[in-house]
Structure 1
Amino acid sequence: MFISSVHAETDTATLLQFIRENPLGMLITGIESSLDFLQCTHVPCVLDLPQEAGQSFPNGRLRAHIAKQNPQVKGMIEALDNKPNVMQLDKDVLVVFNGKHDHYVTPKYYVETKPDSGKVVPTWNYSAVQVYGKLSLYYDSKTPEAGAFLAQQIHDLSQHTETSIMGYTGGDRPQPWKVSDAPEKYIELMQRNIVGIEIRIEKIQGKFKMSQEMRPGDREGVEKGFARLGGETGQAISALVRGRGKIHDAKKQTA
């Protein structure tokens, strides 16, 4: 991902929080096998912060699970040529997380530059975080290591998505769904058909491309344009343009 300095977000805490709020990642691998070299799977991830993940994961870790029948898993197994309880890929994998809101930006929003010179073109506003890391695969749920990993992963993922994503916290809100609400034998069957994914984070990068590089009048035009557009996306991007613009201006003043 190309990250220009004006769009770069370098605060690790902000990037990790972005993942917590946008847990659906795209797991991308390049593996030499009889299958396609490049594989990608959309997978919701649990993020363990550095202080939660222990000394083996100084930058934190991602946890997930995907189907055993997934070609990406088959490529991993073929490349490793064995099926141990836990196996590790030699090369880094890439996981990309996209923000909830993105949108086309029309040149009509550039109210300062467009009438002045006409030198404007369309663009697209979006936010994204990417993680590079080392992947470990927990293959056989019948083994103690893989069984424990998958049980914890499924519990933690459902707890996070039910409470943080759906807002099911009990009290005045609905109670969250729990793994224990499903029959135990059914969960065991499900676990036999998935593999656990653990990624030790080695590098994390992110960008918020929200018109912060534009002239003040143009930026204000984009903010107002999306506010007029309305809806959840329009209001969200309008607020992001305003917020990222303030961050950009503050950095320029301290530079």
Structure 2
Amino acid sequence: MYIRPAHAELDIPTLHAFIREHALGLFTTAITHATHPTIQTSHIPFVLDRPAPPSPSPNADASEPATKPPLGVLRGHMARANPQAKALIDHLKSRGAESASASASSSSGFLSSWLGSSASASTTDARPTPGPSSLSDEVLVLFNAPEHSYITPKWYTETKPLTGKVVPTWNYAAVQVYGRARIYYEQDDATASFLQTQVEDLSRLQEELAGHERPWEVADAPTSYVDALKKAIIGIEIEITRCEGRFKLSQEMGDGDWKGVVQGFKALETDKAKKLAGMVQERGKQRGVDS
């Protein structure tokens, strides 16, 4: 995502709050595979685990640079029937098979050199360790605010009548996250535990945000039904390595044009336009402009 300095948002608490409010992310992978498309994207609702602030060490050397704090972890799930999930599973299985083959060959060769060629026949086949498998390449998740809009040049009430050098643009807010993903796809205890926690946390958070007086809980559904559904999904856990936002909300405009955008949205008198006017005004506070 191209981020102009005027639109950049790099404050981690602000970005985390945005993700929490707009939890539906576009999960993108680029996996080279013989039978699957390389680039795939799916809409996935995520839970963000924010790291606790680090405690200062009494023995820390003030001359040493501070350790960069962790950026958090995203947790989600997707249907096994999703083509992207199938690509992930096939890729990890093929990589695991290659690793197991290489491990078995290396082990067999080492033992044979000490015990003779017959030793290789008695070695146990190498098998992947149960639990999640990690992707070697980065993944990308893009979170978008639902409110975005075309900006007509007619709202640039200062520049348009003065020079006419104005063109349309688009206002929006988005946060992109890069990270390393672990995929829970095996039918084992680790996957079942991860998925149970993930669906419970996701439901609890979204019921809370929706403001329901009596929130629905996963425990309200029959356990056998939930267990059956969990077998049809896989878990995704992403350790965030980079997080950055672009809040493109007219903050780079001159005062007169900026005020024209605010008034233009307000004049539309729709819920969406009122929300966008508020977003533009909120960003305007950073430049000391009052509409």
Shift of 1:88: 0.5
Q: What residue identity is the alignment partner of 2:76?
A: A
- 1:144 partnered with 2:189: yes
1:184 is displaced (CA, Å) by: 0.9
Equivalence for 2:241: 202
Contact kept, 8 Å, 2:89 with 2:185, in 1: the verdict is no
Spell out the pairing of 1:1-20 with structure 2 (5 A cutoff).
1-20=1-20
**Native 8 Å contact 1:32 1:75 kept in 2:** no
Partner of 2:83: 71
Question: What displacement does 1:79 show?
Answer: 1.7
| Displacement over 6 Å in runs of 4+ | none
Deviations 1:165-215 (A, max 9, x none): x111x2xxxx11110111111100100000010000000010110001111
Q: CA deviation at 1:85?
A: 2.8
2:228 to 167, 179, 189: 189
Structure 1 range deviating more: 13-22 or 73-82: 73-82
1:150 CA displacement: 0.4
What are the ranges of 5 or more consecutive residues in structure 2 without an aligned counterpart? 54-68, 97-127
State which of 167, 172, 177 in structure 1 corresponds to 2:211. Answer: 167
Give the distance between the partners of 2:72 and 2:178, measured in 1 at CA. Answer: 12
User: 2:8 corresponds to which letter in structure 1?
Assistant: A
Equivalence for 1:24: 24
User: Based on CA coordinates, which of the two structures has the bigger radius of gyration?
Assistant: 2
- Aligned to 2:6, what secondary structure does the other structure show? coil
* CA distance in 1 between partners of 2:146 and 2:286 (Å): 20
- 1:249 shift after superposition: 3.9
Aligned to 2:169: 123
Are the equivalent residues in 1 in contact too, given 2:30–2:38 (CA < 8 A)? yes
Quote the residue 1:253 is aligned against: none
Paired letter, 1:155 = E
- SS for the counterpart of 2:164 is coil
Matched residue, 1:135:
181
RMSD: 1.5
Post-superposition CA distance 1:204-232 (Å, at most 9, x none): 01011000111100000000000111222
Give the gaps of 5 or more residues in structure 1: 251-255
Q: Distance in 2 between matches of 1:77 and 1:9?
A: 35
Letter in 1 for 2:22: N
Moved more, 221-230 or 78-87: 78-87
After TM superposition, the score normalised by the length of structure 1 is 0.91
**Partners of 1:78 and 1:186 in 2: CA distance:** 27
Q: Distance in 2 between matches of 1:73 and 1:67?
A: 7
The number of aligned residues is 239
1:102–1:124: 8 Å Cα contact kept in structure 2? Answer: yes
Pick which of 23-32 and 67-76 moved more.
Answer: 67-76
**What TM-score do you get using the length of structure 2 for normalisation?**
0.80
Structure-1 separation of matches of 2:193 and 2:222: 18
Q: Does 1:157 align with 2:199?
A: no
**1:224 and 2:268 matched:** no
Letter in 1 for 2:46: C
Given the alignment of the two structures, is residue 247 of structure 1 paired with residue 291 of structure 2, yes or no?
Answer: no
Report the AA paired with residue 236 of structure 1: K
Question: In 2, distance between residues paired with 1:227 and 1:125?
Answer: 15
> Does the CA contact (< 8 Å) of 2:177 and 2:240 recur in 1?
yes
